[in-house]
Amino acid sequence: MKTSKYILILVSFIFLSCEKVIDVGLDTAAPRLVIEASINWVYGTVGNQQKIKLSTTTDYFSNTVPPVTDAIVFITNSSNQQFNFVQDTEPGIYNCADFNPVLDETYTLTVMYKNEVYTSTEKLLNTPIVKRVEQKNDGGILGNATEVKFVFDDIPNETNHYFLKINDPYKVIPEFGVLEDRFFQNNEMFSLYFSEDLKTGDTIKFTNNGITLNFYNYMNILLSQAGGGNAGPFSTPTSTIRGNIVNQTNFDNFALGYFRLSKTEIKEYIIE
């Protein structure tokens, strides 16, 4: 009986010792500009309404993302036509109402911020449309999930890469993925999604964008880092991933983010 009391006291002491608050001192790096510049020309629209989001990096424990409201932002095409993006009422959002999207046209993004100039040049890529949607009610690994397949034809006679997104009504954050046509060139391709939560009458939304090989590799790294659920507190920290935006004034003070343009296919499907 005395031994049991001793063990109980010892265990209590261990748990009380673990309650000590440890103040971890983390170095704070200088803020970097973050440029979210995805120009999506949705099928069936003119594509003139576009937006770009600017912010800066912040402390690890910060709950807010600092918006950038004092930058100059514009895009030019190969004919030197300039499309200005103007700061909106929402801080950090720059809108353009007269953008002119043209397939295979080359565009250059320019951002002027704190006396430094950031640029990036990309081509507006095409994207195939969804030609049919297939549903199975016994999908998934255990056969108890609703499975939806969005089928489209690969763009013929060229190497293609695609950026995919699924909006599920039961998930706050969309599901993202990338796809290449290495083994499906000039053939049918598909995006497969399944969930045990989906039921009759629910709507899911599939979005597809044609992308470059560089953006495909960029997103592959980002998605693998975001999905690293096995990382512990003492694991190797994720690396800073540089996009395709270059600081022409000070190369070492690079911006984070990516400049991308594409035709955008959006397909909504109601679960049967």
Tens of pLDDT along 117-173?
999 999 999 999 999 999 999 888 888 899 999 999 999 999 999 999 999 999 999
Whole-number average pLDDT of the chain: 87
Average pLDDT of 189-207? 95
At 235, the pLDDT band (50, 70, 90 cuts) reads very low
- Please answer whether residues 140 and 261 qualify as being in contact, where contact means their C-beta atoms are separated by less than 8 angstroms: no
Residue of 149, 160, 80 lying closest to 127 (CA atoms) = 160
Nearest to 111 by CA among 262, 263, 259: 259
Q: How far apart are CA 209 and CA 129, in angstroms?
A: 10
Helix, strand, coil content of the chain in percent (nearest 5): 10, 45, 45
Is the pLDDT score of 16 beyond 70? Answer: no
| Assigned token pair, 43 | 């099928």
The arithmetic mean of pLDDT across residues 25-50, rounded, is 89
Residue 112: burial class (beta carbons within 10 Å; 0-12, 13-18, 19+):
middle
In this prediction the pTM is: 0.84
What confidence category does residue 20 fall into, taking pLDDT thresholds of 50, 70 and 90? low
> Please, what sign has the CA dihedral across residues 261, 210, 224, 194?
positive
Band of pLDDT at residue 3, cut at 50, 70 and 90: very low
pLDDT band at 60 (very low <50, low <70, confident <90, very high): low
pLDDT of res. 226: 75
- Looking at residue 141, what is its pLDDT? 80
d(CA 61, CA 107): 37
Q: How far is CA 90 from CA 40, 68, 212, in A?
A: 20, 11, 30
Average pLDDT over residues 192-197: 93
Residue 142 pLDDT = 80
Which of 27-31, 71-75, 86-90 bottoms out in mean pLDDT, i.e. has the lowest?
Answer: 27-31
How many residues in the chain? 272
Q: Residue 177 in contact with residue 167, Cβ under 8 Å?
A: no
Structure tokens at 188: 């049918």
Query: What's the pLDDT at 224?
Result: 86
Q: In this model, does residue 6 exceed pLDDT 50?
A: no
Q: Specify the range with the lowest mean pLDDT, choosing from 77-86, 91-100, 134-143, 148-157.
A: 134-143
- Helix, strand, or coil here: 194? strand
